[in-house]
Amino acid sequence: MRRETVDGIRVVRIPIYAAANKAFFKRVLNYSSFWLSASMFGPFLTERPDVVVGTSPQFLTAVAALWLARLKRVPFVFEVRDLWPRSIVEVGAMKANSPAIRVLEKIERFLYRSADHIVPVTDSFVGEIAAHGVPVEKMSVITNGVDLDLFRPRPRDEARARLQLPAGTLVTYAGTHGMAHGLDLVLETAKRLANDAVSFLLVGEGAEKARLKERASAEKIGNVIFWDQQPRDRLAHVYAASDLCLVVLRDLPLFRTVIPSKIFEFMGAGRPILSTVDGESRGIIERSGAGVFSPPENRDALVQAIRDLARDPQRLAAMGSRGREFVERNYARPALAGRYLDVLGRVAHALPEPR
């Protein structure tokens, strides 16, 4: 058990079984241990709040939050950042008719019914949640945003030299290396561009990373660099060093409803985006003029898009500038935090004080 203060916020860290995002059963133990620890120690380690927020994924975090909210007799707000368990099924991690998925679906419906308010992070999630019988007026969309002070335009060459990254066109993917992302597409694209002075930097962790590194080594894909997960302040310099930032997901219907949070960081950094994510995310990128869309899981299209963009640095610079202007107007974190506080205030005052 450890207490600390982070940016003026009191944080209580509770004991859990720590596991990397790799082995399935270890992850289940990790999730379960937090649920048990938060449910057991939470009532004694926290004062009575105005509202309790539980975020998903994963569900057991939200279940613990609901338990604490009922014990403290305050409203429970359910924040939905991914559509579990549908996303688990669509990426092929589990079968739709498995007993575990049926249990998760029951937990999903229970949380939707029990929440005093629901905060999805995309507009598309509203329709998905409403299909479970949840009234639309019970939901308020608060999207992800960006820290514009941290993620800001910086000189590319200075960042490139600081990080000792190769010359030429640098294409960066930063995020989870998981089943949902289909990063084999990036390796195949890199092979095709091996003679084009294009390098790829893959930053992050995930269940697929070891296999991807083994494949790159076995196939001698020399223009791909793998870095471990980086601190956010260093990540800002990684973006600055990049000519083009990738947003990649597999071609699944569910992913048309998501907005990868990295797109806002890329825009904040003034870097152009090449995305294979259709739907709501594509709409944001195209409205902003901050990047271009390439069809998902289409290697030939991705190769051609990178070649075209690499030959046009002025176009890349213009997309980066438009992206920065767009997030300044629409996705600055303080403005989104203010909207969230308004929602929490309304929810907190909707219930009478306990006697």
What would the pLDDT profile of 247-283 be if each residue is shown by its tens digit?
Answer: 999 999 889 999 999 999 999 999 999 999 999 999 9
| DSSP code at position 12 | E
CATH topology of domain 156-330: Rossmann fold (3.40.50)
**The residue type at 2:** R
Predicted model pTM: 0.85
Least confident of 80-94, 157-171, 235-249, 260-274: 80-94
CB neighbour list of residue 102: distance below 8 Å, 6 or more residues apart = none
Could you tell me if residue 169 is left (phi over 0), alpha (psi between -120 and 50 degrees) or otherwise beta? beta
- pLDDT tens per residue, range 292-344: 999 999 999 999 999 999 999 999 999 999 999 999 999 999 999 999 999 99
- pLDDT tens per residue, range 233-243: 999 999 999 99
Predicted local distance difference test score (pLDDT) of residue 159: 96
- Token reading at 188: 């195949």
- Token reading at 254: 């569910």
Domain 47-145+333-348 has CATH 3.90.1300.10: no
Q: Which H or E run contains 131?
A: none
Q: What is the residue-wise DSSP string for 188-257?
A: HHHHHTTTTTEEEEEE---TTHHHHHHHHHHTT-TTEEEE----HHHHHHHHHH-SEEEE---S-GGGGG
- Cα–Cα distance measured from residue 248 to residue 68, given in angstroms and rounded to the nearest whole number: 37
Q: How many CA atoms lie within 13 A of 80 on its CB side?
A: 29
CB neighbour list of residue 21: distance below 8 Å, 6 or more residues apart = 27, 176, 178, 205, 206, 207
The shares of helix, strand and coil residues in the chain, as percent rounded to the nearest 5, are 50, 15, 35
Q: Residue 87 — very low, low, confident or very high, per pLDDT cuts 50/70/90?
A: confident
Could you tell me if residue 294 is left (phi over 0), alpha (psi between -120 and 50 degrees) or otherwise beta? beta
- Token reading at 304: 């051609």
CB neighbour list of residue 242: distance below 8 Å, 6 or more residues apart = 156, 170, 171, 172, 201, 271
Predicted local distance difference test score (pLDDT) of residue 59: 84
- Cα–Cα distance measured from residue 130 to residue 139, given in angstroms and rounded to the nearest whole number: 9
Q: Is residue 232's pLDDT more than 90?
A: yes
- Cα–Cα distance measured from residue 112 to residue 60, given in angstroms and rounded to the nearest whole number: 14
The pLDDT mean for the chain works out to 92
Instruction: Considering the chain, tell me which residue range(s) the CATH 3.40.50.2000 domain(s) occupy.
Output: 47-145+333-348, 156-330
